[in-house]
Structure 1
Amino acid sequence: MKKIGLHEIRREYLEFFREKQHLVAPSFSLVPKNDKSLLLIGAGMAPLKRYFTGEATPPSKRMSTCQKCIRTGDIDNVGKTARHATFFEMLGNFSFGDYFKKDAISWAWEFLTERLEINSNDLWVTVYLDDDEAYELWNNMIGIPKERIVRLGKKDNFWELEVGPSGPCSEIYVDRGKEFGCGHEDCKPGCDCDRFLEVWNLVFTQFDKDEQGVYHPLPNPNIDTGMGLERIASIMENTNNIFEIGAINDILKKVEQVSNYKYGTNNDKDTSVRVIVDHSRAMTFLVSDGVLPSNEGRGYVLRRLIRRAARHGKLLGIEKGFLTDIVDVVINSWAVEYKELKDREDQIKKIIRAEEDKFQETIDQGISILESYIEEMVHKGENVLDGEKAFKLYDTFGFPLDLTKEILIERELEVNEQEFNNHMDEQRTRARQAREEVDSGWGNSNNDDLFKGLETVFRGYEATNLETEVIELVRENCKVDILGNGEEGIIILRETPFYGESGGQVGDIGIIESNDFKAEVLDTKKTKEGLPLHIVKIVSGNAKVRVSVVATVDETRRNSIRRNHSATHILHKVLKEVLGEHVNQAGSLVMPNRLRFDFSHFEAISKEDLDRIEKRVNTKILEALDVVTIETSLKDAQDMGAIGLFEDKYKDNVRIMKIGDYSQELCGGIHVKNSSNIGMFKILSESGIASGVRRIEAITGASVYDYLRQIEDETDEISHLLKTNRTSILEKVRSLTEELRDKDKEIEKLKSKLSTNIAQEILDTKEVVDGVNLITYKANDIDIDALRNLGDELKNKLNSGVIVLASVVNGKITFVSMVTKDLNAKGILAGNIVKEVAKVTGGGGGGRPDMAQAGGKDVSKVDEALSIVKELIKVQINK
């Protein structure tokens, strides 16, 4: 047997099948393309599914890949055993109606016995119970003795879906020796012991299963094989498990180095090491393929992997962020095959570091609170954590349910998951109701019947002025024959140039008029079925049904909207170039006076990058790129690589907005004819609106001129106030800032002296409650920093005790609570105290067990709030 490592096996395998006239394709992304049935790619054949079903034509009838895969079904077992993994690589060779069993079997045997030089006497095979053809090929063609060919049933050796391609399998096993076995004389593949290790599965897709369960022979059967790279590497390197394979063991050694723990000396810590080793590979490849941490879908898988690994780092005693150190080893090793890892190294590490840092901020507080819950459960003799408490940990502190469950399981406890889910459902309902409350009200379910059967042809792409006909009038959710002077309602036209609000673009306004009436179009909405509704006010005459009218869009406003909409497309492309391919649109709002663009990104954008983004957008505007529309099928649009948001909402026929050769996106909105029509682009702000989602607000065209004019006016006003000229403003401001800084330092010195002087006086007011030293004190006009400093000084002098301070500044109350560590251990927590104290004044807050702060509203109740601290101490210490 060759002594050959994981990366060498991969290279040998792909080269072998290249010699067999296979097209060797690079691994597909872990993110499925045009396949909503999969969250992540979990098998070598998954990205090729459309070739097997006949939906698409393969680039070659013979293909071979080494496919990155993620499976999370057993994530809770990863680390607990040495065989479970979330990330793995699957070697595969595939035939789409070309070769079949004979070649698949002979090549598999040739690769294993000749290329890898595995002793043929160590190889066993299984075939499907009724597959005599495969049996004969293994026995007569390859020469495997009958006693090493095992027939197994449908459960083990038949691959199928509910409907569609299916067929028998043949699996190849390596006999690892009697020392790994169960001791039974008839031990063979199919036995539950560890002696026989399956390394390669050959699937002979020869049937098409119909809905009645009948198997119809395929005219051109297919071959789908899969061999786990890590598993065959374990055989070749003669290791007991995948964590001992050279390349993976390098990661393990890095974990040992970072944690200062020697693997193999403690079972629990070994579990943590394995979790980190496995998850570091998975997170690296997920981020490389554009996945960002989030609370849903594949983003949640990534978040869970990062947070689970970070938490196990803490269990190994690693206090600071460390995951990027481990990821370095993955990138440097696997870049031999996946060169994109090196290309995206900075981005991968930034994203993982940001998520780890975010988790570090919450994990200590979350664990502290969970520990207090556990302590309370143990005290009461309970073993199920209340679902409401688990939800509070999740909702308030960002502490994931999976982590709560994992920590509880370690203590042989559990959580009321049904109750947790009930609270989650209630939250979703509240959020949905909140969205519905701000809905426009047009085209909702209450109005569906009102507009049934009505159709309007939209002509707004080519016209802003159109002769058409009124086909329906609506007032107060009722169809009417007349809308009178001064009344508001809805006009529905046979054809319209007015764009109805959709895709983030606001609706048009303008005029609808005839010889008998004039209506001001206040807005244009759409029903769920896409019917344009013109929201109008009749300014003269009476509007009637079946009357010919002229519909005129406010073209100046429309042109402003065009500019902003086309600018969002350029901005989207620029963001991908500057920040990375992980950027995807998460929403937009296109108005006449500004644009808003939401997108996936993991951190605030630096000023330098914002400047690059703004400059590049303006460069593309000045390149005067033609904007053209292509109408095509959704499938062709996807094949062209057009970017689309919410693809499941698109119809079969779509519009692609193409801006030169630079940008192409699916879009039904209205755009400029040439990028130069946008004029100019200026970013006004960049902010975070949700975890992993950023927002840019910007202006274009005449709005930029107005903005610059306003800046100039304000600059003139500032220079007047500072009694200097424009060119000296910066120098003047620096001088004033330095003066203020010196004065602030002097003020801080005086406050510190004052704090020191009154500290001893405050100490003299100390009380003792159930053996606990307590100080409460109300100050006036002391800011939060000074209040905290005073608290620290008192805490140092007190050695052991509880301190609660209050200060009123400009009618606002600030509370600071401090508890020494020895009292934390007895159940007295600063966060719990300050929260209850602040409640009395109508405020709230919280913090760590040893220090917390809060705000209050009712100044008249400060003394009353401080007076309850005694009772709070008694309750907490006697729990």
Structure 2
Amino acid sequence: MYTGNQLREMFLKYFEGKGHVIQPSASLIPKDDPTLLLTVAGMVPFKPYFLRQVEPPFSRATTVQKCVRTPDLESVGKTARHHTFFEMLGNFSFGDYFKEEVIPWAWEYITVILQIPVEKLWVTIYPEDEEARSIWSKAGVSPDRIVADPENFWAAGPVGPCGPCSEIYVDLGESRGCGKDDCAIGCDCDRFLEVWNLVFMQYIRNEAGTLTPLPKRNIDTGMGLERIASVIQGVESNFDTDLFMPLINKTAEIAGLQYKKDPKTDVALKVVADHARAVSFMLADGIRPSSDGRGYVLRRILRRGIRFARLLGIEKPFLEQIFRVIQEHYAHWYTELKENENFILNHLRLEEKNFQATLEQGMLILQDKVKAFRESGQKILSGEDAFHLYETYGFPVELTEEMLLEEGISVDMESFDKASEEHRLLAKEQSRQMKAAGENSLLTEKAKRLGPTRFLGYEQLESDSIIEAMFNEEGEVDGAGEGEEVICLLDQTPFYAESGGQISDEGIIRTGKAYAEVLELRKLPSGAITHRLLIKDGVLKIGEKVHTVVNKEKRKAIAGHHSSTHLLQTALRKILGDHVQQAGSLVTSERLRFDFSHFSPLTAEQITEVENNVNRKIMASLTVQAEEMSMNQAREKGAIALFGEKYGEIVRLVEMGDYSRELCGGTHVKNTGEIGLFKIISEGGIGAGLRRIEAVAGMESLAYLREMESQFDEISTVLKVQPKESVKKVHLMTAQIRELEKEIQQLNAKLSKYEADSIMSKVQDIHGVKILASRVQAPDMETLRQTADMLRDKLKEGVIVLGAVADEKVNLVTVVHPSGLNGLHAGKIIKEVASITGGGGGGRPDMAQAGGKDSSKLGEALDKVPSIIRHFLGHNS
């Protein structure tokens, strides 16, 4: 039986032998791919190669890729094979080999290398792919084991590369099935497990749905490590493999529980193990918990893991302990778990602490409810109360149910679901109402009558204005007080309303007795600017004179970023060519995003050249001037206009020295020197012929560089060298680590051989079968298996049961040689032996491994091996 670590290595080595270049796993953050939050498949890092956006540096590659998917989050722990984080084994061809090569390789790997019996295997093909059927048959697959499935067609999207695919399934046996007479491939039960998908990327599909053969056909395959490990290790689910069991056992230990004793707690143990693993790897790749994007996905997984830990009775911080186990079993392969340890632990501790505090608040309130229920004799908590706990304190309804169950109190889940839905609809409606307030007929008509709002913001950041109209969600009002949200129309304003990619200003509106925050500004077709306000104190009334104040620091930062986009576009056109056209932008106080037309990624040299070009113009302190003129005059001056944008007769031309001339209605610096510094953060493709640059300017660029410097200093501190010596020290340490690893392997091999020679005297004869049961010194399961292999060669035939203690845990290995000797089964023998140490395991008839919790029982377990063998041989004495 192979471990997960061995399966990774075996796969890569096999395809390396077939001319593939082994590539390390890419980050869980997709590089230059705004279409994806996270890396969801092994092919994601190679999309530019498949789409020929970048010429591949090699024609064949093989990887073990880290992936995260969350669409089936609620299924994790309840099924045998749903995970958030998983590892995908894959081999890829970029216009090199195709079906004729990949199909025989896949069949050889499955049947010869992994030695999965042919009678357990099935293959699916696309119904029209007779070529694949023929190649599978020639490879050795029986025709009656090849099934046509119309779902076997892969596509990158509605338009783009696509092609048929083939899947390899393993029949796990009738015991794993549904028992129906028609149970077969495609059945919803667990009997037939898909382990490998081979995608034959041979067409490109256009908007009309027409398929055209690709000039260079590609191969993309994917095999889940967790799935194939469950098959090879002969266990019931992915969670029972050595990839998960250490995490499950640690969680059970913290909770004071035992795995496989209660189906309900088993689900929670699996969820905690899975989610802790996902969170650790996401943090290791630099994803920070946040309220949106991939950070929100991380936080959601983390909090769900804590929630299920609560159901197990774990109330104190525990994730660090689980992370240490993850580190122990994965860091040798994924070094980022060690390298980014401080970052990971800091975020785990902080998130766990904050969420635990939130849960504590909810528990106190729930305890008060329970006390009141005891006094009144009430037995059902209303759904509204349960929802209040969830919405206000983040207290999961599952925990509410769990706590109240002990008191004989239930939760009205029907009304809870109803309250949840009502809240969702209400929030959606309120948002819609306030967002649409600027478009309702009363406001629109009022705005038309009042005329355009005079915009003062190009020249000043404060003004005295008159409130000309005020609306709430019900309609026009004369006034509003503290806590209310309203839409106002002013006669004049310094606030810039979101337009042309530039976000709205922030600031306040105040009188002597009241003030309000400006939440949002919108410009109506009439030219009126609506101000969405939250009144923080006092009362605002129609006709009242107010003082408006724009947040100066925010405006300055926004202006710096906006002016940078103008310099950036000119630099791109000078360096890449006049075909570069702006295709969209976002300008905020924190960053800028600039989309443009171009057909290939920028090289590192081009990015540096663009940066240098922009920064030279910043340091040149070019005067920035804005002037209104006719469209014809602007064209004569060589102004750049947005492609497809409609302009009036009078336009606003923004000039930066003789370098940049663009039509723009946004706010800008007075002199490019005010920008300070410009730094590109990323460059990538967002579609056919479209690229995106993200950058920072001013204080934000300084903050970015300081963060990079801080990380570099932290690396230098950890390495205990001067910063300039860090790279040299890393190379030196890497070489030393490789040498030490070789020494450890050599020493373990020598120790195993010595022990094997010394314990042969312990061989017993049990009813004609040689039995060797002994405790040995082995730091891990790998060394224990090596010792068993040596003893098998020396014993020639018989049963070997070896046990060792590593990190206070029991490791056991059983060998029956030759396989099936006297009807003995290694998996069944080890299951009996392991149970004495409080553990479990299983495996093939010839070899099996197991783990145990109670190391003090190892001697007793090994002493009972003779009686266990007698029992299996049919002799009870």
**1:143 equivalent in alignment to 2:140:** yes
Shift of 1:58: 4.0
Alignment of 1:721-870 (within 5 A): none
Instruction: Provide the aligned C-alpha RMSD in A.
Output: 6.1
Kindly tell me: are residues 676 and 118 of structure 1, through their superposed partners in 2, closer, same or farther at Cα, counting changes over 3 Å? same
* Deviations 1:839-864 (CA, angstroms, capped at 9, x unpaired): xxxxxxxxxxxxxxxxxxxxxxxxxx
1:201 and 2:192 matched? no
Number of the residue aligned with 1:539? none
Separation in 1, partners of 2:591, 2:701? 28
Deviations 1:309-358 (A, max 9, x none): 22222222222111111012112322222211211111112112211111
Kindly state the Cα deviation for residue 72 of structure 1 after the two structures are TM-superposed.
2.1
CA distance in structure 1 between the aligned counterparts of 2:12 and 2:82, rounded to whole angstroms: 25
1:621-640 alignment runs, 5 A limit: 631=570, 632=572
1:127–1:170: 8 Å Cα contact kept in structure 2?
yes
CA distance in 1, matches of 2:591, 2:319: 34
Partner of 1:12: 10
- Aligned with 1:170: secondary structure? strand
Q: 1:244 aligns with which of 240, 245, 270?
A: 240
Structure 1 match to 2:839: none
* SS of the residue 2:217 aligns to: strand
Residue type matched to 1:204 in 2?
F
> What's the CA shift for 1:83?
2.9
- For the 8 Å contact 2:555–2:589, the answer to whether it is kept is no
Equivalent position of 2:596 in the other structure:
652
**Closer/same/farther in 2, CA of residues 643 and 505 from structure 1, 3 Å limit:** closer
Shift of 1:232: 0.9
Contact 1:22 1:63 in 2 (8 A): yes
Partner of 1:365: 361
Q: 1:640-660 deviations in whole A, cap 9, x for unaligned? A: xx9999999644279999877
> 1:28, 1:68 within 8 Å by CA — same for their partners in 2?
yes
Deviations 1:39-83 (A, max 9, x none): 433222344445444555444443333222222222222223343
Shift, 1:146, TM fit: 1.8
Q: Does 1:261 align with 2:257?
A: yes
CA distance in 1, matches of 2:296, 2:400: 16
Q: Deviations 1:697-725 (Å, cap 9, x if unpaired)? A: 99999xxxxxxxxxxxxxxxxxxxxxxxx
Q: Is the 8 A contact 1:628 1:659 kept in 2?
A: no
2:413 corresponds to: 414
* Deviation by residue 1:730-772 (Cα, 9 ceiling, x = unmatched): xxxxxxxxxxxxxxxxxxxxxxxxxxxxxxxxxxxxxxxxxxx
**Secondary structure class of the residue paired with 2:26:** coil
User: What amino acid is the match of 2:261?
Assistant: T
Find out whether 1:163 has 2:158 as its counterpart. Answer: yes
Whether the 8 Å CA contact 1:256–1:262 is kept in 2: the answer is yes
Residue in structure 1 matched with residue 321 of structure 2 by the alignment: 325
User: 2: CA distance between counterparts of 1:182 and 1:433?
Assistant: 51
Cα–Cα, structure 1 residues 217 and 628, in superposed 2: closer, same or farther, change >3 Å? closer
Distance 1:568 1:336, change over 3 A: farther
Q: 1:289 to 1:60 in 2, by over 3 A?
A: same
| Contact 2:166-2:197 within 8 A present in 1 as well | yes
State whether structure 2 residue 120 is matched by structure 1 residue 112: no
Q: Is the 8 A contact 1:405 1:414 kept in 2?
A: no
1:150-197 residue CA offsets vs partner (Å, 9 max, x unmatched): 223213x23346623332221112344455456678865444554432
Whole-Å separation in 2 of the counterparts to 1:699 and 1:172: 51
The whole-number CA distance in structure 2 between the counterparts of 1:34 and 1:383 is 55
- Relative to the length of structure 2, the TM-score reads 0.51
Question: Percent of aligned pairs with the same residue?
Answer: 39
Alignment of 1:160-559 (within 5 A): 160=155, 163-164=158-159, 165-177=161-173, 179-181=175-177, 188-367=184-363, 369=365, 389=385, 392-399=388-395, 414-416=413-415, 417=417, 419-424=419-424, 426-427=426-427, 502=502
**Residues 42 and 63, structure 2, Cα contact 8 Å, conserved in 1:** yes
**3-state SS, counterpart of residue 260 of structure 2:** coil
The whole-number CA distance in structure 1 between the counterparts of 2:3 and 2:70 is 26
2:280 match: secondary structure: helix
Q: C-alpha separation between the residues in 2 aligned to 1:313 and 1:293?
A: 19
| Per-residue CA distance 1:591-622 (angstroms, 9 max, x = gap) | xxxxxxxxxxxxxxxxxxxxxxxxxxxxxxxx
Question: Quick one: distance in 1 between partners of 2:593 and 2:370?
Answer: 46
State the AA in 2 paired with 1:325. Answer: Q
Structure 1 residues 88-128: Cα deviation after superposition (integer angstroms, max 9, x where no partner): 11112222333211112122123323433444454332222
TM-aligned CA deviation for residue 308 of structure 1: 2.1
- SS of match in other structure, 2:244: helix
| 1:40 paired residue number | 38
Is contact 2:174–2:191 with CA below 8 Å preserved after alignment? Answer: yes
1:563: Cα distance to partner?
13
Paired residues of 1:408 and 1:414 also in contact (CA < 8 A): no
What is the alpha-carbon distance in structure 1 between the residues aligned to residue 333 and residue 260 of structure 2?
Answer: 31
8 Å CA contact 2:80–2:238 kept in 1: the answer is yes
Return the alpha-carbon distance in structure 2 between the equivalents of residues 229 and 663 of structure 1: 48
Is the Cα contact below 8 Å between 1:566 and 1:678 reproduced in 2? no
Q: 1:399 to 1:291 in 2, by over 3 A?
A: farther
3-state SS of 1:246 partner: coil
Q: Deviation per CA, 1:621-648, whole angstroms, max 9, x where unpaired?
A: xxxxxx995743899999xxx9999999
Secondary structure of residue in 2 paired with 1:352? helix
1:81 alignment counterpart: 79
- Equivalent position amino acid for 2:124 in 1: T
1:451, 1:23 → 2: CA distance?
69
Deviations 1:206-230 (A, max 9, x none): 3334455444443433222110011
User: Do the aligned partners of 1:159 and 1:168 also contact (CA within 8 Å) in 2?
Assistant: yes
Q: Contact 2:591 / 2:700 at 8 angstroms: preserved in 1? A: no
Distance 1:259-1:218 versus aligned 2 partners, 3 A rule: same
| SS class of match (1:393) | helix
Could you tell me which runs of 5 or more consecutive residues in structure 2 were left unpaired when the two chains were aligned. 460-466, 470-489, 508-520, 530-551, 619-663, 678-697, 703-877
1:134 is aligned to: 132
Matched residue, 1:736: none
d(CA) in 1 for partners of 2:554 and 2:181? 79
TM-score (ref. length: structure 1): 0.50
Task: After TM superposition, give the deviation of residue 37 of structure 1 in Å.
Answer: 4.1
Do the aligned residues in 2 keep the contact of 1:566 with 1:675 (CA within 8 Å)? no
**How far did residue 200 of structure 1 move?**
0.6
Distance 2:154 2:59 in 1: 21
Aligned length in residues = 552
For residues 364 and 252 of structure 1, what CA distance do their matches in structure 2 show? 25
Q: Take 2:449 and 2:29, find their aligned partners in 1: how far apart are those partners?
A: 42
Aligned to 1:684: none
Q: Does 1:102 align with 2:100?
A: yes
Does 2:69 match 1:71?
A: yes
Q: Is 1:31 aligned to residue 26 of structure 2?
A: no
**Alignment CA distance shift 1:670-1:377 (3 Å):** same
Gap change, CA 1:283 and 1:501, over 3 Å in 2: closer
For 1:312, what is the secondary structure of its paired residue? helix
Taking structure 1 as reference, are residues 69 and 660 closer, same or farther at Cα in structure 2, changes over 3 Å only? same
| Matches of 1:45 and 1:231, distance apart in 2 | 18
What is the match of residue 124 of structure 1? 122
Q: In the alignment, is the contact (CA less than 8 A) between 2:383 and 2:411 conserved in 1?
A: no
What is the distance in 2 between the residues matched to 1:565 and 1:386?
50
Counterpart Cα distance in 2 of 1:406 and 1:291: 32
- Structure 1 residues 71 and 566 mapped into 2: Cα distance closer, same or farther (>3 Å)? closer
CA distance in 1, matches of 2:500, 2:613: 29
Residues 6 and 246 of structure 1 are in contact (CA less than 8 Å); yes or no, is this contact kept in structure 2? yes
Alpha-carbon distance in 2 for matches of 1:382, 1:133: 70
Distance 2:71 2:80 in 1: 16
**2:568, 2:614 within 8 Å by CA — same for their partners in 1?**
no
